[in-house]
Amino acid sequence: MQDIISVVINRYNVKGQYLDHLAMNELNEYFINAIDRIKISEFINAQASKIIKETSVQLYEEQPELLRPGGNSYTTRRYSACLRDIEYYLRYSSYAIIAGHPNILDERVLDGLKDTYNSLEIPLSPTIRSIELLKEVIEESISTNNIVLNNNNILDEPFKYLIKGLI
């Protein structure tokens, strides 16, 4: 996994260039938002079980057909796999938040996921909805717990990236 620092330095190293004003601004932005990244990641770590539970409750309330015979979460095994996947999306998104770069999502989640889901006939729309719900649940919980962030986009980035990779 590379963080934004490694990504910027590697980009300039490949070109054989010194870091310019654009690179310094990109690094500066990462450091300015570091406290927000830490706050979000600490919150996700402390509340992961609650976040996953609330996300799944909302998903199955919206799409109860997933739990019915023939639904993709019908058996205990499939239901557990769904919860496991939601946990993966949450965990790797928290890594991407800290890193300030989504490349871990490609490496650990997205590479081959869409093809795998399609080959197993797992519909992508409930998966995408679960990722949207994860973000919404975290945003609501952060607000409820009076956690002040200077940059709310930090939370949006990894979830939007996951969704874009599945569409």
Q: What is the CATH number of the domain that holds 103?
A: 1.10.490.20
* Residue 10 domain flag: no
pLDDT of residue 107: 82
* Residue 20 domain flag: no
Query: Is the pLDDT assigned to residue 158 strictly greater than 90?
Result: yes
Model confidence, pTM: 0.86
Q: Is 111 helix (H, G, I), strand (E, B) or coil?
A: coil
The token pair at 37 is: 């990244």
Map tokens 């965990």 to a residue.
91
Please tell me whether 129 is known to bind a ligand.
no
Which pLDDT band holds residue 153 (cuts at 50, 70, 90)?
confident
Query: Is the pLDDT assigned to residue 102 strictly greater than 80?
Result: yes
* Residue 27 domain flag: no
Length of the chain: 167
pLDDT of residue 150: 85
Residue type at position 78? R
Please tell me whether 77 is known to bind a ligand.
yes
* Residue 23 domain flag: no
Please tell me whether 25 is known to bind a ligand.
no
| Mean pLDDT, residues 66-77 | 92
Separation CA 106–CA 97 (nearest Å): 14
| Mean pLDDT, residues 107-128 | 84
| Mean pLDDT, residues 6-20 | 94
Share of the chain above pLDDT 90, in %: 71
Structural domain count of the chain? 1
| Mean pLDDT, residues 57-74 | 93
* Residue 24 domain flag: no
pLDDT of residue 98: 93
* Residue 22 domain flag: no
State the residue range of the domain holding 110: 34-166
Dihedrals phi, psi of 70, to nearest 5 degrees: 90, -15
pLDDT of residue 31: 93
* Residue 48 domain flag: yes
pLDDT of residue 8: 93
* Residue 1 domain flag: no
Separation CA 143–CA 94 (nearest Å): 18
